[in-house]
Amino acid sequence: MVSEPTTPVVALLENNNIPLHAADDQETAIAAFKKYDVTILPVVDSKERLVGVLTVDDVLDLAEKEATEDMQKLGGVEALGGPYLKIDLAMMIKKRAPWLVILFLSEMLTTTAMGFFEKEIAKAVVLALFLPLIISSGGNSGSQATTLIIRAMAIGEVTLRDWWRVMRREVFAGLALGCVLGAIGFARISAWSLFSHVYGPHWPLIGLTIFFSLIGVVLWGTLAGSMLPFVLRRVGVDPATSSAPFVATLVDVTGLIIYFTIAMVVLKGTLL
């Protein structure tokens, strides 16, 4: 930085140090510090007048707070807004209860949905035995997908425009993962059936029901988990609201409909 003594100061400015605006949100500030690799940035008002500077250690605190909030939302809790051990117990319960209640009310739909298949369950109780396995597999794959996309959005790796690319990737990932779990499920039922008669003479059909259901539910979970953050951001809601428990609940309800529908087709005329 050696210049002629007569050079005006403005000419020494590196013009890639675009200032932050006072109205910019926290994520913009974090992104700017990462992009320009600086330790301090000027902040200007709407008329480009300097109102102060932001230092990178403030931003470090900010980035950590943002990540904590996102993580808590992802876990299905309203952001605590304070250290876990210091926050008042009643306040903490108040932060956790609403989401738990919303999830509970949504999950009640599983009871309603299963009511439609009560006759089938009574005829083939074996269907009930595999239910938690099937629906949780959808929830787990959805949880993976939503976590990856929410974080990728938060750090700017994925934007709204990328939804189609993400969907294409997740269709392949969902099918591949569904086939892996389906194959394990089929193998498990076959292995059990060779040693005992627990699943009766129609075990290959039960195995096929589980196989196809797992592919369907995992694919659906993956798609729901990856697309929900896009839908939320599109309508202006924080994508992190699409928490892992929220996706799991959504996939539980729809997953059991997929499962029983496949069962009714495959087992028609034998067990059902």
Contacts to its own copies from residues 225-264, by CB under 8 A: 244-245, 248-249, 252, 256
Does position 138 interact with its own copies (CB under 8 A)? The reply is no
Does position 99 interact with its own copies (CB under 8 A)? The reply is yes
Q: Identify which of residues 10 and 104 has a Cβ nearer to its own copies in the complex.
A: 104
How many amino acids of this chain bind its own copies (CB under 8 A)? 94
Helix (H) or strand (E) holding 40: strand 40-44
Q: Name the residue type at position 1.
A: M
Give me the phi and psi of 159, to 5 degrees please.
-115, 175
Q: Name the residue type at position 194.
A: L
Does position 187 interact with its own copies (CB under 8 A)? The reply is no
Query: Of these, 41, 151, 216, 223, which contacts its own copies (CB under 8 A)?
Result: 151
Does position 115 interact with its own copies (CB under 8 A)? The reply is yes
Query: Of these, 188, 190, 238, 264, which contacts its own copies (CB under 8 A)?
Result: 188
Q: Identify which of residues 30 and 267 has a Cβ nearer to its own copies in the complex.
A: 30
The residue whose two tokens read 């028609």 is 268
Does position 107 interact with its own copies (CB under 8 A)? The reply is yes
Report the site for its own copies in 23-62 (rule: CB under 8 A).
Answer: 30, 33-34, 37-40, 55-57, 59-61
Burial string for 222-234 (b: 16+ CB within 10 Å, else e) reads bbbbbbbbbebbe
Window of 11-19, 46-54, 93-101, 228-236 that interacts with its own copies by CB under 8 A: 93-101
- Cite the DSSP H helix spans in the chain: 26-36, 56-74, 89-115, 118-123, 126-154, 163-195, 203-234, 244-266
End-to-end CA, the chain: 83
CB count in 10 Å sphere of residue 189: 22
Does position 84 interact with its own copies (CB under 8 A)? The reply is yes
Query: Of these, 20, 41, 54, 158, which contacts its own copies (CB under 8 A)?
Result: 158
What's the token pair of residue 220? 């659906």
What's the token pair of residue 103? 């999830």
Query: Of these, 20, 41, 54, 144, which contacts its own copies (CB under 8 A)?
Result: 144
Report the site for its own copies in 193-212 (rule: CB under 8 A).
Answer: 198
Query: Of these, 41, 140, 219, 271, which contacts its own copies (CB under 8 A)?
Result: 140
Q: Distance of CA 95 to CAs 130, 185, 238, Å?
A: 34, 38, 17
CB of 127 within 8 A of CB of 120? yes
Which residues pair with residue 104 across a beta bridge?
A: none
Q: Identify which of residues 250 and 266 has a Cβ nearer to its own copies in the complex.
A: 250
Q: How far apart are CA 198 and CA 203, in angstroms?
A: 9
Window of 4-12, 20-28, 114-122, 228-236 that interacts with its own copies by CB under 8 A: 114-122
Does position 160 interact with its own copies (CB under 8 A)? The reply is no
Q: Identify which of residues 131 and 266 has a Cβ nearer to its own copies in the complex.
A: 131
Query: Of these, 139, 207, 216, 239, which contacts its own copies (CB under 8 A)?
Result: 139
